[in-house]
Structure 1
Amino acid sequence: MRSLPLKLAPGSDLLISLQKIAQEQNSSGFVLGVVGNLSRAAFQCPGQSGPTVLEGNLEIITLNGTVSPNSVHLHLSLSDSACQVWGGHLEPGTLVLKGADLLVGLLDQSLPQEPSDPSQAPRVEIAVLPGCPWSTRALRMLGSLSIPHTVKSIDNDASFKAFNQRSELNTFPQVFIDGELIGGYDELSKMHASGQLETLR
């Protein structure tokens, strides 16, 4: 196992950033440690129908779990300004306030990797806007159905312009299958309702 230090800038989406690193490294691993704070935290509490969302100056206490190119399963605990502790399953839309330093342990490959085969890449690609509730719902749907997917975070003007030119859309999420735009959350939801989405596992 090798250790990879990460420094996340203000406004970074914690979950999306970790999944992006796993995809770039093409490796699975664990979060070994974290220090930082959040401006917004989204997490799923046991027995609740939807995520709990807190905003303010939130201090990260722990972040435990696994990361891989196709999924992130992490549990977050944090403290609010009154020192009340919260926690649950980390959801998209959890945003860094001033900064976050993480140490991720990535599993070494026992055999040399073959050159990447485009046919083995996830068929689903999704561009999301950090903090966007529809992007969060789309990511949750893909994750709950175990649909392999690549996440692109729209966190600067250049990435926004690139996807705007590609799709001619100004809204997010934007979902592509085999490189072709299918639309946003509504279209993804319709595919789920018809059973088409499950065929992409």
Structure 2
Amino acid sequence: MLQLPVPTSHLMIHSLRLGPGKDLKADLEKFAKEYAVEAGFVLTCVGSLTHAEIRLANQEQGQTYRGFFEIVSLVGTLSINGSHIHISVSDSSGYTTGGHLLEGCKVYTTAELVLGVLPEVVYKREPDSQSGHNELTIYPKKP
């Protein structure tokens, strides 16, 4: 379903690094709150984890993985009105898994992030009759 008109915006870029022991999801949410991010997204992320908390597709509960993992992908939308972020991690044998990012993903050595923010747009999560879930809705920011 295409929502028209699609609002446009200038792009602001933020770079940050999370150190050992930081919680990837909690710190992304903290960033969104501190900078009042209403429409943001993850451009890129590289780093490593010792704990991965991931909710796999079509599952109610998250899975806990412990060990040493490389972050091979982090994508999604970020907003004080609700975020939706997916992560993929690989272990030392190259096994890769991914799903919804949950709190409890603990940084091992570093997580280097580049985040985009659209200051003239607002992301919200609202009920969708087709999916039965709260889904992304996009609005122009009111002056």
TM range (shorter): 0.7 to 0.9
Shift in Å, 1:47 = 2.9
Q: Which moved more, 1:29-38 or 1:43-52?
A: 43-52
Structure-2 residue corresponding to 1:19? 29
Moved over 2 A (4+): none
Q: Structure 1 residue 58 and structure 2 residue 69: aligned?
A: yes
Figure out how many residues of one structure are paired with residues of the other and give that number. 113
Which has the larger share of helix? 1
What CA RMSD, in Å, does the superposition of the two structures yield over aligned residues?
A: 1.9
Residue 54 of structure 2 corresponds to which residue in structure 1?
Answer: 43
Q: Which amino acid aligns with 2:36?
A: N
Q: Distance in 2 between matches of 1:90 and 1:9?
A: 18
TM-score (norm. length: structure 2): 0.74
Contact 1:57 1:80 in 2 (8 A): yes
Q: 1:71 aligns with which of 61, 66, 82?
A: 82
Structure 2 Cα separation of the partners of residues 106 and 7 of structure 1: 17
Contact residue 18 and residue 72 of structure 1 kept, 8 A: no
Unmatched tracts of structure 1, length 5 or more? 111-143, 146-201
Asked if residue 10 in structure 1 is aligned to residue 20 in structure 2, the reply is yes
1:77 Cα offset (Å): 0.5
Q: Confirm or deny: 8 A CA contact 1:34 1:60 kept in the other structure.
A: yes
| Structure 2 residue runs without a partner (length 5+) | 1-10, 122-132, 135-143
TM-score, length-scaled by structure 1: 0.53
> In the TM superposition, what is the alpha-carbon distance from 1:6 to its structure 2 partner?
0.8
Query: Do the aligned residues in 2 keep the contact of 1:23 with 1:70 (CA within 8 Å)?
Result: no
- Amino acid across the alignment from 2:93: A
Q: What is the rounded CA distance, in whole Å, between the counterparts of 1:7 and 1:18 in structure 2?
A: 11
2:116 maps to 1:105: yes
Q: Higher RCO, 1 or 2 (CA under 8 Å, sep at least 6)?
A: 2
- Between the aligned partners of 1:74 and 1:92, the Cα distance in structure 2 is 11
Larger radius of gyration: 1
Aligned residue for 2:17, secondary structure, equals strand
Q: For residue 141 of structure 2, what is the aligned residue in structure 1?
A: none
| 1:134-149 alignment runs, 5 A limit | none
